Chains A and B, each alone.
Chain A
Amino acid sequence: QVQLQESGPGLVKPSETLSLTCAVYGFSISTNYYWGWIRQPPGKGLEWIGSIYVGGNTYYNPSLKSRVTISEDRSKNQFSLNLTSVTAADTAVYYCARGHTVMITIAYWGPGTLVTVSS
């Protein structure tokens, strides 16, 4: 059974970098799927942040591209998100997920982790 679990600080100061890790259990990230991040501000809709494919190819939301880096660690079977220069607008529940074709047909999601940007 595929399971994903996000981890990282729940509180980040404005202008700092938000860093999250997604540990994957029951399935290798070194297979032909896309692994990515999606966020949901409180009371709002889903927003795709970016995805990484086996071999390290990355795809980013153009609106966030200048601030986002997604990387993988195959030895630990996990992937990570770095979002720089955060503001209150980046406060959201962050989900990691496994999907197809950049990030559709998302059959597996982590439970989500709330990250609040505040001083």
Chain B
Amino acid sequence: QSALTQPDSVSGSPGQSITISCTGTSSDVGTYNTVSWYQQYPGKAPKLIISEVSNRPSGVSNRFSGSKSGNTASLTISGLQAEDEADYYCNSYTTSNTVLFGGGTKLTVL
């Protein structure tokens, strides 16, 4: 099974909005509303920021939002802040009863 496809890097200026895509197939992202997104700082464990495509756990800023269209899920961060600079990963359940992660996207705040 191949990893979900994410851009290696994205960047934006403070206050702007950015979107990170997560492309899978009809065997994972396209079939289930089970995409989660995680934020990871260097040397730290990932943190859940979006579950089930668009649900924000308690305590997560409403600047983070998620959506899905077909085989592609997206994470949007609005009002970009310096503290958002981190790595972001998506993951999804699959029809093979397994789980996939995306390759990760490095967000740079200019």
Which residues does chain B contribute within 8 Å of A110, judged by CB atoms?
45
Q: Which among B13-21, B62-70, B76-84, B98-106 touches the partner chain?
A: B98-106
- The answer to whether A62 and B96 touch across the interface, beta carbons within 8 angstroms, is yes
Chain B window 43-57, contacts with chain A (Cβ cutoff 8 Å), 1 for yes, 0 for no? 001111001100001
**Binary contact track A94-105/B, C-beta < 8 Å → 1, others 0:** 010000011111
Interchain Cβ contacts under 8 Å between A and B, 22 examples? A44-B104, A45-B89, A45-B101, A45-B102, A45-B103, A45-B104, A46-B101, A47-B101, A48-B91, A48-B101, A61-B1, A61-B98, A62-B1, A101-B34, A101-B93, A104-B92, A104-B93, A105-B36, A106-B36, A107-B48, A107-B51, A109-B47
Nearest-CB distance from A40 to chain B (Å)?
9
Tell me whether A33 is interfacial, beta carbon within 8 Å.
no
Binding site for B on A (CB under 8 A): 38, 44-48, 51, 59-63, 95, 101-107, 109-112
A107 to B47, CA, bound (A): 7
Closest residue on chain B to residue A46 by CB atoms: B101
